[in-house]
């Protein structure tokens, strides 16, 4: 499925959710749709998106947090599955854009292209809901399902085309990103 179309659908239905992006293409795709103050782009923190999302979900329990990341990042952060499942936040959704390749380093095959199923790993870890999504109609259903309360963290793997699209670069200044995100939350800069 087309990654930008899928991400656009998710963001159009975000309903105020805070969005944390993984490195590379997930950040470019979120930014290509709209650069907003409630997007938290990660730079230079490979493997950190899901756990950053966990921290924000724990600090902002009244808000839904959506992590949009890639298969390579989730493979690097395998321990995040267990940590998130044990913490059991009810307001954290992780969306994995899975092109079965390491897109940022030359499109080498990733482990998900060799049979590793991130959805099953999340399920075995204790996530409340997991699913693999293969087309845009299923993304529409996912958008409806994301509005329903969860009993714990959820993870959804979107199988996307393995393409390197033109980059839409979000701000790279970490202090700026942090400050505007905190301001969106009504928090003082630090």
> What's the pLDDT tens digit per position in 170-179?
988 999 999 9
The predicted structure's pLDDT at residue 61:
98
Instruction: Please state the pTM of the whole predicted model.
Output: 0.93
CB 26 within 8 A of CB 170: no
Task: Report the chain's mean pLDDT, rounded to a whole number.
Answer: 92
* Per-residue confidence band for 103, with pLDDT thresholds at 50, 70 and 90: low
- Predicted local confidence at residue 79, as pLDDT: 94
Percent of the chain with pLDDT over 90: 74
pLDDT at 164 over 90: no
Once rounded to an integer, what is the mean pLDDT over residues 116-130? Answer: 97
Residues written for the chain: 190
Question: Domains plus CATH for the chain?
Answer: 3-184 (3.40.50.970)
Long-range pairs for 167-171 at CB < 8 Å and ≥24 separation? 167/28, 168/28, 168/29, 168/31, 168/32, 169/28, 169/31, 170/21, 170/27, 170/28, 170/30, 170/31, 170/35, 170/39, 170/41, 171/35, 171/41
Region 84-92 average pLDDT: 98
Could you give the 3-state DSSP secondary structure of residue 129?
Answer: strand
């Amino acid at each position: 499925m087309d990654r930008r179309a899928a991400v656009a659908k998710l963001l159009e239905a975000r309903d105020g959710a805070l969005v944390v992006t993984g490195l590379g293409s997930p950040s470019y795709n979120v930014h290509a749709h709209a650069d907003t103050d409630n997007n938290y782009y990660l730079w230079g923190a490979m493997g950190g998106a899901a756990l950053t999302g966990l921290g924000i979900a724990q600090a902002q329990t009244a808000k839904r947090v959506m992590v949009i990341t890639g298969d390579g990042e989730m493979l690097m952060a395998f321990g995040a599955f267990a940590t998130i499942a044990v913490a059991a936040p009810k307001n954290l959704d992780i969306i994995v854009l899975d092109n079965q390749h390491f897109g940022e380093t030359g499109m080498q095959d990733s482990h998900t292209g060799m049979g590793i199923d991130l959805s099953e790993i999340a399920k075995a870890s204790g996530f409340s809901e997991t699913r693999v999504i293969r087309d845009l109609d299923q993304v529409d259903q996912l958008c409806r399902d994301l509005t329903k309360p969860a009993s714990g963290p959820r993870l959804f793997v979107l199988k996307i085309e393995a393409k390197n699209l033109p980059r839409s670069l979000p701000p790279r200044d970490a202090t700026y990103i942090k400050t505007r995100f905190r301001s969106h939350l009504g928090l003082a800069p630090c």
